[in-house]
């Protein structure tokens, strides 16, 4: 009996060692092949940006264009909420940031975490909502009147609002709008008509569409998603709805040169042209307006 | 490293001071998952019993389905349920998307294969002679079923643990069909993702710890039931 157990344990051990050898060999082959084919050394650069920027599809053109101009860099784009992007910069987990919350960005640089904040591009926010516009914000005199109309319709039970609720640039803009209208910040607990998704722009738009509620969105994300949404642009053009993007190189970043290269490229004529042309093919209008100085 | 030590301290402080609305989130998680588990037991145990005891071609196909179902990616279930319940989907008129019932539906679908497959394995290990003896003594099919189920109690506890475990830690489906709405469909897993995205690692860690603790407590309780059933069987 003991001899039998001993043999099967030995057999298992042999199989395990063989499997590990096979695995190691495979890994070595794969690594060996890729390093043989790459003549130049490629450095990784990490760009932390926001989910709304990613949802607009801008990275699909920025990434290949940058890597063509600078083949020695491989840019990895991490799209998270603005709060997390700034936290990644503080932890040096990212080399360069592209976000749209100017006040937080300036705080970031003032705290010594970033070298400088520079204008890159802007787009605008729009308030989207159900096609029948129950709160009649299309006719409102200005933005504060718009927000008041929504709050009133909400209290009356005829309209709803979905908030990002995630400290993102869009969320912060929404809070500014409530404040400018002198309305106390609504909360899901206190206001039945107010929902908070805690997620990105795409998800929040889908929730607003399902619930036929209003929400604040950047124009770019709305345009890219509009075919799958039952929402229309209810309010646009007010000057307070401008959405400005800034690029910041992180101080003492792992890939300091790479981060700086990306920022320089984005602000250069070439980078600005890529930004300014994005969206024209699909939507007939550019999604972003470049404004580097 | 210091960042995460600070996050840990912040998490402990949040839990202590009540600064984080943990309890609404925990309550929602439990409400949704316990409802889903109970419903999945109602379908999964009878289903598993039939799969484990009846000899037919349909049974074989059913077992394959149940076992394959255990490997079904929860996020695919979430996608299917979301598309079905969406306003533009076939059941859109019910307005169920982004609600607790939608989350329960998705979780039931995820849990049923687990419950059925484990139940099938448990009941098929009950000696056939025992069941035949009961029948020969005049037991009706229902009584035979009840006897078999009682004999395989240990395995059934494993079915409950498996079903509950599969759904309480799931994040993709509940995010897609629930929408993580504050106070309504925000559960522990979706809240952890949200706080991480916001850079609030302290809050994420706090919720993660509560979730782990909950899972440990539930498994301690279920294992306790299992060992007492085992002691009963041995006596």
CB distance from A226 to chain B under 8 Å? no
Banded model confidence at residue B105, pLDDT cuts 50, 70, 90: very high
CB distance from B200 to chain A under 8 Å? yes
pTM: 0.75
CA distance A70 to A2: 65
Do the chains contact at A166 and B198, CB–CB below 8 Å? yes
Do the chains contact at B182 and A196, CB–CB below 8 Å? yes
Nearest CA in chain A to B185: A197
Residue A1's pLDDT is 46
What are the chain A neighbours of B182 within 8 Å (beta carbons)? 165, 188-189, 195-198
CA dihedral A107, A111, A113, A114 (to 10 degrees): 50
Do the chains contact at B199 and A203, CB–CB below 8 Å? no
| Structural domain for B221, as ranges | 2-234
Give the DSSP H/E element, type plus range, for residue B189.
Answer: helix B188-197
Do the chains contact at B198 and A86, CB–CB below 8 Å? no
Q: How many domains does chain B have?
A: 1
Residue B233's pLDDT is 64
Residue A113 buriedness (CB in 10 A; 0-12 / 13-18 / 19+): buried
Q: Which of A163, A199, A225 is most worth mutating to test chain B (most B CB atoms within 10 A of its CB)? A: A199
Do the chains contact at A166 and B197, CB–CB below 8 Å? yes
Report chain A (293 residues): mean pLDDT per 10 consecutive residues: 62 86 79 58 92 86 94 92 89 93 92 95 94 93 95 95 91 94 94 94 94 94 89 92 92 92 96 94 86 89
Query: In this predicted model, which residue has the larger pLDDT, A290 or B199?
Result: A290
Banded model confidence at residue B11, pLDDT cuts 50, 70, 90: confident
Do the chains contact at B198 and A188, CB–CB below 8 Å? no
What are the chain A neighbours of B201 within 8 Å (beta carbons)? 87
B14 phi and psi angles, rounded to 5 deg:
-60, -45
pLDDT for B23 beyond 60: yes
Nearest CA in chain B to A90: B3
What are the chain B neighbours of A230 within 8 Å (beta carbons)? 87-88
Residue A21's pLDDT is 87
Q: pLDDT of B26-52, one tens digit each?
A: 999 999 999 999 999 999 999 998 888
Query: In this predicted model, which residue has the larger pLDDT, B105 or B17?
Result: B105
Do the chains contact at B198 and A197, CB–CB below 8 Å? no
Nearest CA in chain B to A51: B197
Residue A256's pLDDT is 92
Domains and CATH numbers, chain A: 43-123+244-290 (3.40.190.10), 124-241 (3.40.190.10)
Q: What is the CATH number of the domain that holds B183?
A: 1.10.3720.10
CA distance A232 to A147: 17
What are the chain B neighbours of A80 within 8 Å (beta carbons)? 197, 199
Residue B149's pLDDT is 85
Residue A95's pLDDT is 95
Nearest-CB residue to B197 (from A84, A188, A210): A84
CB distance from B88 to chain A under 8 Å? yes
Residue B97's pLDDT is 93
Task: Look at A86-90, A122-126, B8-12, B211-215 and tell me which has the smallest mean pLDDT.
Answer: B8-12
Secondary structure (DSSP) of chain A: -HHHHHHHHHHHHHHHHHHHHHHHHHHHHHHHHHHHH--S--EEEEEEEEHHHHHTTTHHHHHHHHHHH-TTEEEEEEEE-HHHHHHHHHTTS-SEEEE--HHHHHHHHHTTSEEEEEEEEEEEEEEEE-TT-TT-GGG-SSHHHHHHHHHHHHHHTS--EEE--SS-HHHHHHHHHHHHTT-PPP-TTT-TTEEE--S-HHHHHHHHHHHT-BEEEEHHHHHHHGGG---EEEE---GGGEEEEEEEEETT-TTHHHHHHHHHHHHSHHHHHHHHHTTHHHHSS-S-EE---
ipTM for the whole predicted complex goes beyond 0.90: no
Do the chains contact at B197 and A83, CB–CB below 8 Å? yes
Query: In this predicted model, which residue has the larger pLDDT, B96 or A8?
Result: B96
């Amino acid at each position: 009996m003991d001899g039998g157990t001993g043999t099967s344990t030995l057999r298992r051990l042999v199989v395990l060692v063989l499997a590990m050898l096979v695995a190691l060999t495979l890994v070595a082959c794969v690594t060996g092949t890729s390093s043989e084919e790459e003549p130049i050394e490629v450095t990784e650069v990490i760009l932390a940006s926001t989910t709304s920027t990613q949802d607009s599809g801008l990275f699909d053109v920025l990434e290949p264009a940058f890597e063509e101009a600078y083949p020695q860099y491989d840019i990895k784009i991490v799209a998270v909420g603005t709060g997390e992007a700034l936290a990644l910069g503080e932890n040096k987990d990212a080399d360069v940031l592209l976000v749209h919350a100017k006040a937080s960005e300036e705080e970031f640089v003032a705290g010594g975490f970033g070298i400088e904040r520079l204008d890159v591009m802007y787009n605008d926010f729009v308030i989207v909502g159900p096609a029948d516009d129950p709160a009649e914000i299309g006719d409102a005199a200005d933005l504060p009147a718009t927000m008041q109309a929504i709050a009133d319709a909400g209290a009356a039970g005829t309209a709803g609002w979905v908030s990002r609720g995630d400290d993102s640039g869009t969320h912060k803009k929404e809070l500014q709008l409530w404040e400018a209208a002198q309305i106390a910040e609504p909360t899901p607990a206190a206001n039945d008509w107010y929902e908070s998704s805690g997620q990105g722009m795409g998800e929040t738009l889908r929730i607003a569409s399902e619930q036929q509620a209003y929400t604040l969105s950047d124009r770019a994300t709305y345009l890219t998603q509009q075919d799958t949404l039952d929402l229309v642009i209810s309010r646009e053009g007010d000057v307070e709805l401008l959405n400005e993007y800034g690029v910041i190189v992180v101080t003492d970043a792992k890939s300091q040169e790479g981060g700086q290269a990306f920022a320089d490229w984005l602000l250069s004529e070439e980078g600005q042209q890529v930004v300014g042309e994005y969206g024209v093919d699909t939507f007939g209008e550019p999604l972003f307006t470049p404004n580097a100085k | 490293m210091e960042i995460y030590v600070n996050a840990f301290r912040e998490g402990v402080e949040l839990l202590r001071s009540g600064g984080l609305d943990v309890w609404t989130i925990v309550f929602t998680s439990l409400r949704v998952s316990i409802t889903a588990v109970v419903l999945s037991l109602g379908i999964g145990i009878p289903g598993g019993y039939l799969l484990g005891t009846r000899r037919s071609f349909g049974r074989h196909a059913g077992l394959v389905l149940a076992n394959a179902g255990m490997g079904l990616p929860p996020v695919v279930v979430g996608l299917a349920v979301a598309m079905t319940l969406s306003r533009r989907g076939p059941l859109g008129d019910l307005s169920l998307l982004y609600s607790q019932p939608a989350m329960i539906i998705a979780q039931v679908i995820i849990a049923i294969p687990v419950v059925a497959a484990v139940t099938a394995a448990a009941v098929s290990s009950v000696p056939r002679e025992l069941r035949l003896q009961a029948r020969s003594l005049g037991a009706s099919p229902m009584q035979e079923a009840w006897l078999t189920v009682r004999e395989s109690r240990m395995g059934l506890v494993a079915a409950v643990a498996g079903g509950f475990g599969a759904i309480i830690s799931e994040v993709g489906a509940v995010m897609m069909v629930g929408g993580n709405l504050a106070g309504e469909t925000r559960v522990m897993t979706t809240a952890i993702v949200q706080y991480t995205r916001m850079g609030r690692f302290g809050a994420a860690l706090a919720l993660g710890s509560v979730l782990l603790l909950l899972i440990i407590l539930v498994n301690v309780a279920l294992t306790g039931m299992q060992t007492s059933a085992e002691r009963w069987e041995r006596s």
